[in-house]
Amino acid sequence: MVGHGSRRREANDDVRQAADRIAEYGSFSIVEAAFLEIERPGIKEGIDRLVQLGAGEIIVHPYFLSPGRHTRGDIPLEVQESAKAYPEISFRISEPLSAHPLVISASVERIRQTIYDLGPTEPRTRKAKKGTVYLVGAGPGDPELLTVKAHELLRSSDVVIYDYLVNPDILSQLPARVERIYVGKVGGGSQTPQSEINSLLIACALKGQSVVRLKGGDPFLFGRGAEEAEALQAAGIPFQIVPGVSSALAVPAYAGIPLTHRDYSSSVTIFTGASGTTGNYQSPGSATADTLVILMGVKHLQEIAMDLMARGRSADTPVAVIRWGSYDGQQTFTGTLSSIAMLAQEEALRAPAVIVIGEVVKLRERLKWFEETLSTCREELVAV
């Protein structure tokens, strides 16, 4: 009897036990287990063993459920090669079990046993642990870009402490029992001090609550997630990081702008347009990548453009500013380094927005799938 062979011991033991059961129930005088690969004995070794035990006729039974490459190709070829050494012995190969009525019957029995004997089982889910803080990325806005792990933790948590850029649709899906605490920061508007947020996270965890700290985008990319993790670590609070889909990657994609392309860009730099301490623009140490992605920079767009041109970027370099990326109200404005600031002023552009600079912006005219999808949906609604 030939099994596939596995690095898992229990799988190989199953083949050997099945061979013993077949010998017992079938009243066959000699039954040997062999393996196609990985485990020993191989097919040739199994056949040699049968011959040594006096076999005059050998039936090779593939311990496989369905016909395929192994049962139709690999096993017959190995048996044929091994048989050359024993021309006086008859060799035959049985069919795999496939959809044999007894296989179907046994499968139905196992299914019913699972339903009635073992009872229904819940799918594996991740439940938020009491006294633990989860720093979770909410993605760029579209609720469908929330990760499975983030979704499960949100639904099983006691309290969610969230930012301004978290889509309200995500919060609306939470169970009613989950407490929601807003600690957002709005540029030029209300601010929740970071020290207050850190203290709140620690206090909730010390009360034995499971805490999700929900941040727009990814918590470790301009999200102050590291500062909060440091505060939790210093306080002895268990924490986990749950990465999110960053707006630096997702928003350009929703605008039809790939950050890399073999013909246009082989490097990307992501930087902030506003210092975390002063809020002012600070020229990045390096801005030589083919594609630049700037977060939190729309307020300083003219200063950014002037700085990049002074550092050698062509005034004709394409630029895109994408506001509320991945939301139904997404807006994308394109220009060049020399024109984008004036355009932004004319359109009264405000945060939140992602700025993309580089030749890849040109591809938007062919790849702007999301806004065209929204346009089609609006047309269909009007028609209805």
pLDDT tier, 125 (very low <50, low <70, confident <90, very high otherwise): low
What's the CATH number where 72 sits? 3.40.50.1400
Report if residue 125 sits inside a domain: no
Of 197, 223, 245, the last residue of a domain is 245
The answer to whether the CB of 125 falls within 8 A of the CB of 231 is: no
pLDDT number for residue 372: 84
**In which domain, by residue range, is 141 found?**
133-245
- Mark whether 176 and 191 lie in a shared domain: yes
Report if residue 219 sits inside a domain: yes
Report if residue 92 sits inside a domain: yes
Q: Which residues of 142-181 are buried (b: 16+ CB within 10 A; e: fewer)?
A: bbebbbeebbbbbbbbbbbbbbbbbbeebbeebeeebeee
pLDDT number for residue 60: 92
- Mark whether 236 and 284 lie in a shared domain: no
Q: How confident is the model over 253-261, as a mean pLDDT?
A: 97
Give the model confidence (pLDDT) of 223-252 as tens digits.
899 999 999 999 999 999 999 999 999 999
The answer to whether the CB of 354 falls within 8 A of the CB of 251 is: yes
pLDDT number for residue 72: 81
The tokens for 26 are 């079938």
- Mark whether 203 and 237 lie in a shared domain: yes
Report if residue 279 sits inside a domain: yes
- Mark whether 138 and 216 lie in a shared domain: yes
- Mark whether 11 and 112 lie in a shared domain: yes
- Mark whether 161 and 235 lie in a shared domain: yes
Q: How confident is the model over 115-127, as a mean pLDDT?
A: 57
> Which residues are marked as active site?
163, 185
- Mark whether 26 and 105 lie in a shared domain: yes
Q: Which residues of 61-89 are buried (b: 16+ CB within 10 A; e: fewer)?
A: bbbbeeeeebbeebbeebbeebbeebeee
- Mark whether 262 and 337 lie in a shared domain: yes
pLDDT number for residue 118: 46
Report if residue 94 sits inside a domain: yes
Q: What is the H or E stretch that residue 180 is in?
A: strand 179-182
- Mark whether 275 and 182 lie in a shared domain: no
Give the model confidence (pLDDT) of 308-365 as tens digits.
999 999 999 999 999 999 999 999 999 999 999 999 999 999 999 999 999 999 999 9
What is each CA distance from 381 to 121, 269, 328, 363, 378, in whole angstroms?
A: 42, 40, 14, 29, 5
- Mark whether 196 and 151 lie in a shared domain: yes
Q: What is the H or E stretch that residue 291 is in?
A: strand 291-295
What's the CATH number where 259 sits? 3.30.950.10
Report if residue 354 sits inside a domain: yes
Give the model confidence (pLDDT) of 310-319 as tens digits.
999 999 999 9
- Mark whether 278 and 312 lie in a shared domain: yes
What's the CATH number where 235 sits? 3.40.1010.10
- Mark whether 98 and 139 lie in a shared domain: no
Report if residue 381 sits inside a domain: no
pLDDT number for residue 317: 97
Of 207, 224, 245, the last residue of a domain is 245
Of 212, 228, 245, the last residue of a domain is 245
Report if residue 167 sits inside a domain: yes
Q: How confident is the model over 280-303, as a mean pLDDT?
A: 91
Q: Count structural domains, the chain.
A: 3
pLDDT number for residue 160: 98
